[in-house]
Structure 1
Amino acid sequence: MYAPFFGLKQAPFSIAPDPHYLFMSERHREALAHLLYGLDGGGGFVLLTGEIGAGKTTVCRCFLEQIPANCNVAYIFNPKLTVPELLQAICDEFDVPVPAGAQTVKDYVDPLNAFLLAQHAAGRNNVLIIDEAQNLSADVLEQLRLLTNLETAERKLLQVVLIGQPELRDMLARPELEQLAQRVIARFHLGALSEDETAQYIRHRLTVAGLTGALPFDSKTLRLIHQLTRGVPRRINLLCDRALLGAYAGGQAQVTPAIVRQAAAEVFDERPAAATARHQRSRLALGMAVLGAALAGAGLTWQLQQSSQSVQAGRAGRSGAMGMAQPASAASAAASASAAARAASAVTPPASAASSAAPTPEPLRLADWAPQDGEAWAGLAGRWGLPLPPQADPCTVAAEHGLQCYRSASGSLSLIRLIDRPVLLTLQRPGRPPALAALVGLQGQDATLWVDGRPRRVALAELAGAWRGEFLTLWRVPPGYARRAEDGRPLREWLAARLAVSAADPSASAASTAASAPPPWPELARQVQAFQAGQGLQPDGRVGPITLMQINRAAGVAEPRLDPAR
């Protein structure tokens, strides 16, 4: 309707996934790269999540176009299926014949396994893509995990790509799905467009639609569109389409902020953010006034004042929260350092000082807690006996004391249990910035966090809803690791001594091993592989941080541990 008025050949903001309007932001390209990387991972799961309308389907279409010709692809877009229905759908997609009247899981798995083996022998790979995977039930996810057990001596026979909304990440973080989560070899969460990318996206679609003149949105209006849509492409399409229609109806060649706000009220059925915030503030002020008057009559006004001060303090704490392992900004460094100093004075020393008679920590609801990064760092550093001077970068201070920060964006609860040491978890909660929490204990289905200078208990199921796998911990650096000599002798001597102590033969001693020349790297790599296999690690022979943590633990080196009694 409005296209000719703006000099366009067609409507530019349809929500249909038209390939002519494909816009790949940096985030979309990175998501595509993760999916393509997963194809070479030798089997297992690849995970792509994103908000509704973030562009997951766009990335999936590009992924399908770039899958190599030697790959068989099965695509399932309606995963609300039972286990037999899922297996039947997979066999249908791969054109696998099944026995007439097939009903049991075995009736489908046996011919599917034979098909995958035959395709592997022919040099072909097999990829299963499941869209809207947040709708998968727990038993179906478990069956998918079992399907990835189909393998030869060299590689897995089936690669599974799961695409879904953020709830999918929450599902895989549940303790009962931990085995599946361990098989995710690549994962990416597709975030929203930035303000600059939003402007580029709008300009791109208008240009493809035939725009040759001036853009009908100025910079102020584009900024408002980004605020109202939060950078989600589908919301951008809906809002821009209605805004252009509104400008056309009013005979205006330029879309004004007022038109955009009116369009947002119509298509999103919500007030613009500023108006909503003012409305909420006015309601809060009115409610506080009424409550204050009521309490004053009972002589309890002082309680209202104390409550107000607590709310303000909580807001200040939340505003100072920052992402995991990022240096504090100049504005918040002093506050974080102050919180760290207060918390450090109450932190348990690095030795396992927890008494077996220690009381059970009080329960904690994450929704009621405003974590502070400084306090979390103090909780971790205190257990290592590591001082944290004000405004200092914790990882820099750790390096000065022979420690290093180890970061992972794809951890799991099983890995935390394996390394058995306090960690900083990055919590992601709706409507709040990322924040750090110090995990200091694990027992059964409960975790212990360091809160306000004391341990607090939180259910693992609740923690899983806020933790996406990102964590940080400290580890002690062996001699010669940072700057390895040409022959690596200091590190080889250290490895040989530690492996001897941690070996099954109790007669081996670090002293006797150090007295003789350390074995060459090939021999040490074989010893490391044997150690890794015994510890449940991937036996690749590489001497990485996780392996070194476990070598220290097996050799009895005094390092902080998770407290199982809390």
Structure 2
Amino acid sequence: MYERFFGLADAPFRLTPDPRYLFLSPKHAEALAHLKLGLRESSGFVCITGDVGTGKTTLLRAFLAGLGPETATAYIFNPPRSALELLKTINGELGLFAKTRSRKKLVDALNAHLLAQREAGRRSIVIIDEAQALSIDVLEQLRLLSNLETTTEKLLRIVLVGQPQLRALLLHPELVQLNQRITLRWHMGPLSRRETVAYMLHRLRVAAGGDPPPRIFTRPALRRTHRISRGVPRVVNMVAHRALMVAFAAERRVVNAACVRQAYREIGALPLAAAAPTSPRRTAWAAAAVGACAGVIALGVVALAWRPELHLGGASESPAPSAVMTPAEETPAPVVAVATPPPPEAEPAPPAPTADPAPPVTPADEVERRLASLDARATTRVAVGAILAAWHAEPLAADEPVDLARIAARRHLEDLPLVGNGSMLRLLDLPAILELRVPGADQPRPVALTGMSDGRAELVVDGSPTPVDAAFLDHHWFGRAHVFWRDFEALGPAFGHESHGAPVARLQALLRRIGAYDGKESGQFDPATEAAVLGFQRARFLAVDGRVGRLTRIVLYAAAGGYPRPTLGAPS
């Protein structure tokens, strides 16, 4: 869109994990060194953790791109839900037999392959991204796979990569043996200000295809981008990309701090790393202004008290003789009140009704105890019931099996299983069933999430609304969730540029409602319609593929409004 305008050959701040743009800050270089060391050694697991958006997946792609033909790789980016699925995925990635439900046959086939690989001088490595979403059963199966060994070395290298919750998960009592086998660990934090500037210049250099990088961002713009993003590379990309679009729309060849501020306002509806801190200079001016206002008010009060002809509540402009002759401190208050009654319009307005204060959050240990004491199946039924109630749908029957897809279908809803984070939940803005892990519970405890606001969330635990601090979800939710949704316009299966007919016409009407499309409702998925879909996906930070799938529809219905759907931010 703007590449040619700025003299670039490529968009420098895409959100896709392109290894060409890998920036090796000291943190990233150390993480890459751990991965390479784990490949050379065969003594245990490698565990790499990092905050959301810090570049873990990009680092993995660069690591994989550097592997030679002597290394066979099973890269699993969608965490398997069961031990059987894990084994079938690993075997499938390595080109082995996987069409069986027998774990023993799968492990035997894998072991024979690993021994043959070793005899041929080749190595095998399994890398699991988003590992914080793995269940304890799957992690235990990984530990058992590490037992495939000879007398001198492990046959399979295993790398776990995930968000900080992975570190907490590995402390579970049932994972003591696995935790002890992790010999290399590294955590990737956000970039410093200097690293953020170097990161942005590096991406501009790669996009321009040469050195030095083009001078597109001013230094104040670079500094403000760091303050807004707090050094999280993904947020840096979001802000920088939008700032380039702002400058492009204004036909500016240079992105200044004002462009970055405008970009932040445009994407401010999305949860970023943190709000930009207030400038000290601006704070000082604000304090001075407050002080000046206070001084003016104080002087005004003194002036009003000093001028006897002014009456704060009186209707007449001249005082009664008795009031003039009598010192102010000796004037009887009742006489003044009777002589100068306040007019009706001067009566103070009744105080505006205030909203009831939000209930205090429930202590984390109390919620943990309540969840641990409940039966996993019972909590599932309660969570499903809460979601159905939010949709005003038919309640769950006492003898109805808990099959989420069928439960949703019977009520003209659809079940969307996903592995995500809080940002994804806010974007979808629908109640969800979260799988929480709590101490003392051998299985995840499903709970309904019915509300989210700054710093807190509303859960339904054992049928009771339970407000919790947002940190509670950070510690106990590892990304697995189910969202019930409704395809209000009956758009049908996912479709793209090859489609035509009534669903496409309804899509065009939706896009027109939100101002993303100004063409005709022709029913043809033409280039203008595809451009509108791509623009919408890009603006909402969805997968930019031009296909109208489930996530795109959910966010599109939320943007259009007017549909009977519950939300996380307001009652249904």
TM-score range, shorter chain: 0.3 to 0.5
Q: Which structure's relative contact order is higher, taking Cα pairs within 8 Å and 6+ residues apart?
A: 1
Compute the TM-score of the two structures, normalised by the length of structure 2. 0.46
* Larger Rg over CA atoms: 2
Compute the TM-score of the two structures, normalised by the length of structure 1. 0.47
